[in-house]
A and B are shown apart, each in its own frame.
Chain A
Amino acid sequence: SQTIHQWPATLVQPVGSPLSLECTVEGTSNPNLYWYRQAAGRGLQLLFYSVGIGQISSEVPQNLSASRPQDRQFILSSKKLLLSDSGFYLCAWSVRLEETQYFGPGTRLLVL
C-alpha cells in the first residue's frame, strides 16, 4: 500500500532563517506531487506541483521554492523565512493522470 511521510512534524524557526521540509511517498512510482499551505483558520492554497523529477510548477509567487530530486521525494525550501510563512504545510500525491489526491500528516511551521 502507498504511504506518504512528512517531516518534521513541527518546526519553530526565527525570521530570516532557512527552511527545508521533506515529503516522501512509498509504494508508487511516477506520482504527481503537491505542496499546499493552510494558514490559520483558512483554506488550502496550492503552492507547487510536480509531474516528474525536476519538473516544478509554481502557483503563487513567494519566497518559497520546491525541488524534486528523486521520483518520490518532494522538498519545500526557503532561503529566508518571513513571519507570513507560518502555517500548516501539507504534501499530497496522486497517481499520474488520476484525480484523487492523498495527503500527508502535515508540518506545522511557526516563524517567530
Chain B
Amino acid sequence: GNSVTQMEGPVTLSEEAFLTINCTYTATGYPSLFWYVQYPGEGLQLLLKATKADDKGSNKGFEATYRKETTSFHLEKGSVQVSDSAVYFCALSDRGSARQLTFGSGTQLTVLP
C-alpha cells in the first residue's frame, strides 16, 4: 500500500534560518505529491504540489522537488519567518477514481523571532 514518512518534529528555528523537512514515500505507480500547511486552529491549505518526476513545486518561498530515484519530496525554504510557524503535512495521491490522499504524520515547525 501507499505510505508517507516525514521527519519527526517538533522543529524549532530562528527567523531567517534555512528549513528542510524531509519526506519520503512508498507507492505503486507514479503518484502526485503534495505539501499542505495547517496553521493553529485551522484546516489544511495546499502549499505546493508536483505531479511527475523532477517537477519542482513552489509557493511563498517554499520549494520541493519530486525525486523518483530517492522517492522523496523534501520541503525547503531559504529564510523562514515567524508567520511560517505551523504544522506541515506531506501527502501523496493515488491515481484511482477517488484520488485518495495518504498523509504523513505532520511536522510541527516553530520559528522564533
Contact present for B97 and A105 (CB under 8 Å): no
Contact present for B103 and A103 (CB under 8 Å): no
Against B, the Cβ 8 Å flags (1 = close, 0 = not) of A90-112 are 10101001111111111000000
- Is B77 among interface residues, defined by CB-CB distance under 8 A? no
Contact present for A32 and B103 (CB under 8 Å): no
Q: Which residue of B lies closest to A105 (CB)?
A: B43
Q: List chain B residues, Cβ under 8 A from A11.
A: none
Q: Which of A55-112 contact B (CB under 8 A)?
A: 57, 90, 92, 94, 97-106
Interface residues on A, range: 20 to 34
Q: List chain B residues, Cβ under 8 A from A49.
A: 98, 100
- How far does the Cβ of A63 sit from chain B's closest Cβ, in whole Å? 22
Q: Which residue of B lies closest to A49 (CB)?
A: B98
Contact present for B98 and A32 (CB under 8 Å): yes
Q: Which residue of A lies closest to B33 (CB)?
A: A99
Against A, the Cβ 8 Å flags (1 = close, 0 = not) of B26-63 are 00000010101000001111100101000000000000
Q: Pick the contact of B43: A51, A99, A106 (CB < 8 A).
A: A106
